[in-house]
Amino acid sequence: MKKLLLLSVFFCGVAFAQAQTKEELKTQKAEKQAEADAAQAEANAIQAKIDALPGWRIGAFGTIGGSLSNFNNWYSQGTPNNSSGNIGFTVNAYANLIEDKFFWRNALSTNLNWVKLDNKDTDLDDDDFNPTTDVFNLSSLYGRKLSEKFAVSGLAEYRTTLLNNFNDPGYLDVGVGATWTPIENLLVVIHPLNYNFVFADNDTVFESSLGAKIMADYTRQIGAVNFKSNLSMFQSYKSGDLSNWTWTNSFGYTLWKMIGVGFDFGLRSNKQEALNYALGQFDPLSGDDEPTFGNVDNDLQTYWTLGLSYKF
């Protein structure tokens, strides 16, 4: 009986010692975590001071998405023998020179995607990767500061596709006006004097014109999250049919080192592009009315990409 009692006391002591050690380790971990959080906060404050200094700020982040598949004798589907794939990527890069009296902000955004579906049972289909999403935007903004938040500015922005119909259409906005920076990472450009040059083979649909340019851009990194939102609008003084706008958004979340997940989506409204596409699909023998600016459906253009992201 005494041996049993001693053995019980021994195990209770061991359990108590283990519990005490575990609690002590948890306390030590909490203390170290508090020290690490304080050090990180101090490092973030120092980085903010560095970012506020005059000079260049250069950065980039992007998204890579893709999948490949191959089927042989998979009879439950309509095409039992096929190979397919989807590959796409986005890049958002900037190079900004910020000085006490002026700034020069340059940005590049592109989203490219290829898709293929090869039916191995026929030689009549296309077995190549064909481009689907095709977006390219390059802008350069120079501003002379009147105050910390306002500047007189000049903007050049070029938009087109790279893989299909390069520069057909292509848009070049050149204008002057004012830039407002209400907070550090938000930029609002208002240029009442802007000329929208349109480059295209079909000059009966696409037309250059004078108008107003509005652009808003918000680019920021918060911890492991990178995001960029850009709205570019042109309002033609000649006709609303020549106006257009594009809104693109990119998000990247770093999971491990430089690798993470990314999501991109974009919206666009452009009546000239809608009419040009409708004319390309129009059959004169169908009996339907020929598409014009007055009757064309200017549906909202959209795209999105989800995949792995890499922070440059």
Identify which of 1-10, 18-27, 212-221 has the greatest average pLDDT.
212-221
Q: Is-contact 107 139, C-beta < 8 A?
A: yes
Of the two residues 264 and 189, the one the predictor is more confident about is 189
pLDDT digits (tens, 9 = 90+) for 221-237: 888 888 899 999 999 99
Q: What is the DSSP-derived secondary structure letter of residue 87?
A: E
Q: Band of the pLDDT at 5, cuts 50, 70, 90?
A: low
> CA-to-CA distance for 139 and 151, rounded, in angstroms?
17
Output the pLDDT for position 132.
84
For the chain, where are the E strands, in sequence order? 55-71, 82-98, 102-119, 130-145, 150-160, 170-180, 186-199, 209-222, 225-236, 244-256, 259-270, 301-311
Cis peptide upstream of residue 169 (ω within 30 degrees of 0)? yes
Look at residues 126, 121, 197, 184 and name the one whose alpha carbon lies nearest to residue 158.
197
Prediction pTM value: 0.79
pLDDT digits (tens, 9 = 90+) for 236-255: 999 999 999 999 999 888 88
Of the two residues 90 and 20, the one the predictor is more confident about is 90
Q: How far is CA 55 from CA 28, 58, 96, 102, in A?
A: 42, 10, 8, 11
Output the pLDDT for position 25.
73
pLDDT digits (tens, 9 = 90+) for 56-115: 989 888 888 777 888 898 878 778 898 888 888 889 899 999 999 999 999 999 989 899
Residues forming beta bridges with residue 199, ordered by sequence position: 170
Domain 56-311 fold: Outer membrane phospholipase (ompla); Chain C (2.40.230)
Residue ranges of domains in the chain: 1-53, 56-311
Q: How far apart are the first and last CA of the chain?
A: 71
Is the alpha carbon torsion for 221, 225, 230, 231 positive or negative?
negative
**% of the chain exceeding 90 in pLDDT:** 46
* Average pLDDT of the chain to the nearest whole number: 87
